[in-house]
Amino acid sequence: MQRGDYLIRKTFYALITLIVVIIFNFFLFRILPGDPVRALIQNARMDHDAVDRIKAQFGLDKPIWFNFEGSTVQVIASEVSLLAEPEAGSSVEHTASAGERLNYEQRSEDGQWILAARSNAEGSVTARGWAPAESVKVSVNPLDSQFFVYMRNLLQGELGDSFAQRGVPVSELLAERVWRTVVLLVIGEVTAIVLGIMLGIVASWRRGSRLDTGIMLWGLFTWSIPTFFFGIILVILASGHLPTGRMVTVGLKPEDGWAYWADVGKHLILPTITLGIGFTSSYMMVMRSSIVEVLSEDYILTAKAKGLNTFQILRDHALKNAMLPMVTLITLSLGYTVGGAIQVETVFSWPGVGRLIYDAVGDRDFPVLQGAFLLIAISVIAANFLSDLLYSALDPRVKVE
Amino acid sequence: MKNKLWKLLTVMIALTMLITSLVGCTTPTEEPTESPAPEEPVVEPTEEPVVEPTDEPAPPEPVTMRIGTTFLLDTVNINVSWTSWQMWRLIYDSVVETGELGVYRPGLAESWEVSDDGLVWTFKIREGATFHDGTPCTAEEVAWSLNWMIDVGNDSLSYLWWNFTEVVALDATTLQITTGDPLGNMEYLMFWAFIVPESVWGQFDTYETMAEFVDLSAATGTGPYKLAEYEADDYLLLEANENYWGGKPPVDTIIFQQYASEDAMVQALMAGEVDIVDGIPSTALTTLQDLENVQVEIMQAYALDELSINTHEDGTQPESLLDPVVRKAIEYAIDREAINQVAYAGLGTPGTTMIAPSLGDWHNSEIEAVTFNIEEANRILDEAGYVDGDGDGIREWSDGTPLEYRLMATEGATYARMLEIISDGMAQAGISAPPTLMDYDSQAALVYAWDYDLNMWQWGMDIDPDFGMVIFKCEERYEWGWNPNGYCNEDYDALYVQSATAVDHEERRAVIWEMQEMIYEARPWIVLVYIPSMQAYDNTAFTGFKTDAANIWTKWSIMEVEPVQ
């Protein structure tokens, strides 16, 4: 029963975190300087109407927080004439009949008149004029704002459509790319973990020796070198021998079977080496220091006294305890891994989520960024959740507080 | 739990920092510059491309051309596309096409003529052109396409035809366009008239429904290539249109592969992963030139770098900038040659007017830019009474305000070095202008609020001089307008109307020359360099590219290319 409570509480906290992230995500990208429409159109020649149409299509014509502007006006008098100027005797722009809906534009300073517009099916305005305030009813929907539309869509499981790739749903983009990033990360991470643990063990067992110094130096070197820089060096070294960019040679299809997968495998080599080497050092150093710490414990001395050999001591006594900090590190680093993926995918033109994020930042593609960050947040939260569970399973001392 | 939240926050903040640092890496892409071309001059339209029954020994290997690029089509729906026009031109034909820069050639129209009053244009549409889906492309189709784009909308193109009052097909080969005013650049307007089929677009009658259409079949044109595969931000695969009215293209498959940077592309060319790279950084120039199998093409285009001086009457600039003497002194203090060296390895051309020399006789070749001369800059400032009264090295205006300006450009290593040259020169003339870099849209926000002093920008420009002229019109001074410098002059606007309605080439040229001179003298812009277009290809794979259009893979060039055996 304790365990059930614990699970429920953890799940509850994870959900709260997720909600915070969802809200945070929305504002995070909107505080970036710049305007998505401007960033996307850049120098393209376009007229004002086209820009307005695009803004409306992206939903960027709405206010961010609350929409007090009101969206429509319903005619309640039997017939209303929209006047060019809010005064008697000015020319009639359009005559609206009872029940007709018009776009609300603004209220006059004295509040007596309302500027309304009639638009056709294409969304362009066909008539605009002032109506007496008492003859129309303005229906204000404060929730018709960018933020609440975003929340409502999310609740319905919709991540919206990409700005940059007009009309393509973000969920489709992510679904298509996520596995490519996962493949890259899993291979990179597994290499790093295996290599890191092995090197860490060797270094700690031989601590103080030249081997240890060598491994540590190498670890510090690879740890300090920026991922993108390391990637570029590899590109230069391997250029001509291995594919230096993209995921697969254009033209090959999954239907081609073995040839396709072999080609993908070749393209994977450089990015995964870059990721793997980059991650190895931190695992290695944490492994080394935690084994060193464990090795100084009295029970190791006892084990030695019992006549156990090196391998047995490491396996049965040192490793188990030393693995605890590793579990935390591995799960926690999942979040940072994505950051690494952005760099690696950009250097190697790997079409994964990282590249998507990189391009989306340049394009101020809010829906894609929101979707990708939500995905990252979910995986980080899930990893943390997993680490909590694993931790309590691995270390009996960690009990539910 | 609290520290879990913190962990998460740390991750998010780290990502945010990463993202913000990435924001800096964006540089503006080129404008919808153009220059592709159609097919050989006037091919007799009737010759149906029948499969030659000649006694060829063996079917030749299909020829594939791989082109490395940093950007692809933004969408498969040309009506909501804002970029990559050169690629679109391989899929679609226009009514009029181009070959060499600034030279118009027949496209879907074989010939055209204008009535004496300059208001009625008649285009003879060629026979034998068909859309990729098999529908014949007659004058009726062309008229339908133009009318549909005008009524329903095309983000980037439909506004061009605002002056058309009637577009109608008189018969299957005659298209007639009536305009409200005589138009001086009808060829240009028709060069942008991509023809889309009714069989695909007839089902849409509103912009909203049309804009959602992103199926691969949206890209159905009459051009030499069919869109076979498209992965956004990844690759584009075009297949030759065997029934192309201009004959079967010599390259069977063209693959555009997207790379994240020009440097990555250069690596791919050296490794043999691509045959052509769409652009090369000037830092890679010598490396590539030393390779035997790589041919580097350096072509003069019409893009330019420019320094805008805020001359808007409601701007936040110091009043001294409104003095033409100060603006002239600034020009004297700019070392264009050094900028050209740093940014384009000396391969660009020092600039004078908004119309590049590569646009032929539209460029006013009589204007000579003042040359870099610090002494002269100092002399005219001294003469005008701008002296350094307090001995801090910066001159002051008569009211005591120092000549201190904000100087900005788009983020990027090259821009940073260019700004430094400008800033250093001005410092030597006693004008302080420390450089600032920011990303494109932040810059745009300041520019169109007239909240800046000096701003450096890159422009793609276009094949017709009209766009260069539009930039200085009063009515373009609004948030989404084209005027970034605040210049407004009624006389100039009147000349613009003349230039737009002069059907006679010589008459139009004279007006355009006058306008260039006017802007040059007023200096709301200082044109720094005309930017060269640099591309490279593997000469063991292909030869015979046309290099006169600032791009070696234009439709015109691709149709002439020869694969090396």
| pLDDT number for residue B529 | 96
- Asked if pLDDT for residue A287 goes beyond 60, the answer is yes
Measure in Å the smallest separation between the Cα of B96 and chain A Cα atoms.
19
Q: Do A339 and B18 touch (CB under 8 A)?
A: yes
Q: Do B26 and A28 touch (CB under 8 A)?
A: no
A121-174 pLDDT, tens digit per residue, is 666 677 788 888 888 877 777 777 888 888 888 888 888 888 888 778 899 999
B461-514 pLDDT, tens digit per residue, is 888 999 899 999 998 888 778 899 999 999 999 999 999 999 899 999 999 999
Report angle CA B310, B311, B313 to the nearest 5 degrees: 120
Q: Do B29 and A17 touch (CB under 8 A)?
A: no
Give domain limits for chain A: 72-139, 170-394
User: Hey, of A22, A24, A43, A274, which one would you mutate to test binding to chain B, going by the most B CBs within 10 A of its CB?
Assistant: A43
Residue B445: its chain A contacts at CB < 8 A? 33-35, 38
User: Which of B206, B439, B459 minimises the CB distance to A34?
Assistant: B439
User: pLDDT band at B10, cuts 50/70/90?
Assistant: low
Give the whole-number percent of chain A exceeding pLDDT 90: 11
Q: Per DSSP, which regions of B259-336 are E strands?
A: 276-277, 294-309
Measure in Å the smallest separation between the Cα of A337 and chain B Cα atoms.
10
Q: Is the separation of the CB atoms in A271 and A287 below 8 Å?
A: no
Q: Do B211 and A250 touch (CB under 8 A)?
A: no
Q: Which residues contact A275 (CB under 8 A, 6 or more apart)?
A: A184, A185, A187, A188, A189, A191, A192, A227, A337, A340, A341, A344
Q: Do A166 and B258 touch (CB under 8 A)?
A: no
B119-177 pLDDT, tens digit per residue, is 999 999 999 999 999 999 999 999 999 999 998 888 888 888 989 999 999 999 999 99
User: Which of B207, B211, B270 minimises the CB distance to A239?
Assistant: B270
Size of the A and B interface in Cβ pairs below 8 Å = 197
| pLDDT number for residue B46 | 43
Q: Do B206 and A122 touch (CB under 8 A)?
A: yes
Residue B291: its chain A contacts at CB < 8 A? none
Measure in Å the smallest separation between the Cα of B520 and chain A Cα atoms.
22
| pLDDT number for residue B49 | 46
Q: Do B232 and A165 touch (CB under 8 A)?
A: yes
- Asked if pLDDT for residue B21 goes beyond 70, the answer is no
State the average pLDDT over residues B51-67: 71
- Asked if pLDDT for residue B24 goes beyond 60, the answer is no
User: Hey, of B2, B5, B7, B259, which one would you mutate to test binding to chain A, going by the most A CBs within 10 A of its CB?
Assistant: B7
Q: Do B208 and A244 touch (CB under 8 A)?
A: no
User: pLDDT band at B427, cuts 50/70/90?
Assistant: very high
Q: Average pLDDT of chain A?
A: 83
Q: Is the separation of the CB atoms in A211 and A204 below 8 Å?
A: no
In chain A, the residue whose alpha carbon lies closest to the alpha carbon of B18 is A339
Structure tokens at A366: 């809010």
The verdict on ipTM greater than 0.90 is: no
Stretch (H or E) spanning B124: strand B120-125
| pLDDT number for residue B22 | 43
Cα-atom radius of gyration of chain B, to the nearest Å?
A: 26
Residue B80 CB neighbours (<10 A): 25
A329-385 pLDDT, tens digit per residue, is 887 777 667 767 888 888 888 888 988 898 888 788 899 999 998 988 888 888 888
Residue A221 CB neighbours (<10 A): 11
B314-366 pLDDT, tens digit per residue, is 999 999 999 999 999 999 999 999 999 999 999 999 999 999 999 989 999 99
Q: Per DSSP, which regions of B253-338 are E strands?
A: 253-258, 276-277, 294-309
pTM, rounded to two decimals? 0.80
Can you name the CATH fold of A72-139? Answer: SH3 type barrels. (2.30.30)
B444-457 pLDDT, tens digit per residue, is 888 988 999 999 99
Give how far Cα A255 sits from Cα of A175, A252, A258, A262, B236, Å.
20, 8, 9, 13, 19
User: Which of A20, A54, A335 minimises the CB distance to B11?
Assistant: A335
Strands B276-277 and B64-69: parallel
Residue A44: its chain B contacts at CB < 8 A? 31-32, 82-83, 156
Give how far Cα B527 sits from Cα of B33, B300, B448, B465, Å.
18, 16, 19, 15
State the average pLDDT over residues A235-239: 84
Task: Identify which of A191-205, B25-39, B43-57 has the greatest average pLDDT.
Answer: A191-205
Q: Which residues contact A78 (CB under 8 A, 6 or more apart)?
A: A97, A98
User: Hey, of B2, B3, B10, B11, which one would you mutate to test binding to chain A, going by the most A CBs within 10 A of its CB?
Assistant: B11
CATH class of the domain defined by A170-394: mainly alpha
| pLDDT number for residue A332 | 76
Give the whole-number percent of chain B exceeding pLDDT 70: 90
| pLDDT number for residue B565 | 75
